[in-house]
Amino acid sequence: MSFHYFAGHAYRALTARKDGPSLYEVCDPVLAGPSTGDPHIAKFYKMALGNPALRVLLNRAGLPELHDEARLGRLREALRRAREDQVPDWAAIGAPVADLVDSIELDHPRPPKIAFNRDAPALSVIDGVIRDCAQHLLRSYRESGFLPTYAAFNLIGDPDVRGRELIMALTGLNARGYKNSSLLFNLARVFIARSSARAIINPPWKGIAEPMWEPVQIRHRSAYYDAFFIEALLSYVETGLASPADTAAAKRAIDDMVDFCINISREEVKAQDGRRFDVITALAPAPHPRFSRFFAQIKQDLGFGVYVPDCDTTACSFSAATQAGSSDPILDQPLLDFYEGYQVRGGTNEPRVTVPLNDNIDYEGGVATWIDNVKGERPYGNDLDPTLNLDILEVSFRNLARWKVLETPSRLATVHRIIAFQKRLAESGAFANPRSHIYYLPELYSAYFGRCYAAYLALPLAAQQAIDPDGAFDLIRTHVLSYVQGEMLAGEINVFDAALALIALGHLGADVRTFAPALNCIVTQLGEGGRRGPFRAYEWNKMKTPTRILVGGPEVTSAFVLMGLALARKAMTGS
């Protein structure tokens, strides 16, 4: 968006006719004065929503229905109860806010259909972009000592979180600070979405993945991100385009990131049967995540004071270490024994999914996200994401022999249940619905299915038959290819969309002629990142609560473009 776009919409927000009490007229009488009761909610309000810049922007954003004194009073009373009650009734507290959330209209991107160039760029051009992306990653690693990723806030929230989902979050999350931030962020998003400020906080964009143009971005490091950076650098070395010096630099970075994933980020927990397992936490203890002191405090104030391990970071870290040739004993643990305790099985285990934001899908056979730490803490309750379950399958295929999956009936049964879960998603078409996903987009699911499918095809035919006797993988492949070719690449896309499309198409053995739209998008947008890298930052994954928090970065875009182009190059050259 241009300067004139933001200047024009800022002027409209600052001069709009005010109709009804503003966010601050609602909250200040309850939360701006001396704190009593729970100190976090008032502190969060002052830090996150009461900051001077947002106050100026939302000063004239009012809600006419709050002229009704009774309705305004119920809203303020809910805030008082959230602050004062020792054991708050969060469903009752959230009800007046949920009613307001249901008054806003938000939609997922619907890129227009466009004609595209069917001629793919020359292989030499593709090789040049691969080298540019690799140099960006190696340079960033050399300068920072790690490959950074960024988190950014979009205060307008996620289209899938309506009033009903807000109540799910308030009643299903465990940490009070996380409930506080979810309540207040959702109240604020009503004033944003129904005012001129909406155009500034949520400007339009091209494609599906959201560009990260928010002014405040929190730089950090996580084992989950390092795992994919490892895969990107491995794919660069495998292209044969790396010089001896680059190969050595990539190897050093890979070794360091493997160590970060499986040693520095390691945490011991108890499985559901009482056995001890080493798993991987997304945020290692300080100072390893590389937060600044300022942003470390923001993380605390948002309600993320305790960060527990998760099944996805564990799976991806084990996979990356396996691909890098690590022989660390941690990899000998049969993770499927651990995941079985977090697998949803109707009527046979404790309900795992306490925050069912995507309850449009059948959870049977899926593995939940968050792992109780050794103290038994569950700050985020639990949810279940389809893409995470692809990562569990992928790491299981890579360690099939090591974990004796085929020889152990319970492990093979766990795999079969996850595959059945994925098959239902494909057959119903739910995988292509953004609402079905907690942390990802359907295009991410498609790319990650390609990654999983490639690991499956690398197995001996007898193993493939034992794992998938009913041909579920081929069925899912057909549906995913149809989505990528018929929906994603039929419309306007951005660079990150294009990279994900190539990862899916390349791994799933698509006709190389279908690569052209994605390849041309990447080549023509080279340089869009300016001084920060070849390409700009886009949404890789997200949190839907407490508000829409996007994670990505210029390095992330370079990594995914590199992996997509490496796969395309391999298919185009027949290597």
Tens-digit pLDDT profile for residues 201-246: 899 999 999 999 766 688 899 999 999 999 999 999 999 999 999 9
Whole-number pLDDT of residue 298: 65
Report yes or no: 540 and 443 within 8 Å, Cβ to Cβ: no
Whole-number pLDDT of residue 10: 86
- Residue 496's SS3 state is helix
Q: DSSP code of 39?
A: H
**What are the angstrom distances between the C-alpha of 553 and each of 225, 533, 538?**
11, 10, 6
Write the burial class of residue 291 (CB in 10 Å: 0-12 exposed, 13-18 middle, 19+ buried).
Answer: buried
Rg of the chain on CA atoms, in Å: 24
Write the burial class of residue 161 (CB in 10 Å: 0-12 exposed, 13-18 middle, 19+ buried).
Answer: buried
Please report which helix (H) or strand (E) contains residue 154, including its range.
strand 149-154
DSSP string, 71-104: HHHHHHHHHHHHHH-SS--HHHHHHHHHHHHTT-
Of the candidates 290, 283, 285, 344, the residue with the CA atom closest to the CA atom of residue 310: 283
Of the candidates 270, 152, 272, the residue with the CA atom closest to the CA atom of residue 212: 152
The CA distance from 58 to 78, in Å, is 21
Whole-number pLDDT of residue 114: 87
Per-residue confidence at 86, pLDDT binned at 50, 70, 90? very high
Tens-digit pLDDT profile for residues 300-353: 666 666 778 999 999 999 999 999 999 999 999 999 999 999 999 876 545 789
Whole-number pLDDT of residue 380: 87
The CA distance from 147 to 145, in Å, is 7
Tens-digit pLDDT profile for residues 434-475: 999 999 999 999 999 999 999 999 999 999 999 999 999 999
Of the candidates 491, 392, 405, the residue with the CA atom closest to the CA atom of residue 451: 392
Report yes or no: 469 and 489 within 8 Å, Cβ to Cβ: no
Residue 575 has pLDDT above 90, yes or no: no
Mean pLDDT, rounded, of the chain = 93
Q: At residue 366, what are phi and psi to the nearest 5 degrees? A: -80, 155
Whole-number pLDDT of residue 520: 97
Instruction: Kindly state the average pLDDT of the residues 381-410.
Output: 97
Cis peptide before 546 (omega within 30 of 0): yes
Tens-digit pLDDT profile for residues 48-77: 898 898 999 999 999 999 999 999 999 999
Per-residue confidence at 292, pLDDT binned at 50, 70, 90? low
Instruction: Kindly state the average pLDDT of the residues 135-152.
Output: 96
Per-residue confidence at 294, pLDDT binned at 50, 70, 90? low
- Which residues are within 8 A (CB) of 98 and not within 5 positions of it... i.e. 6 or more apart? 162, 163, 164, 166, 167, 186
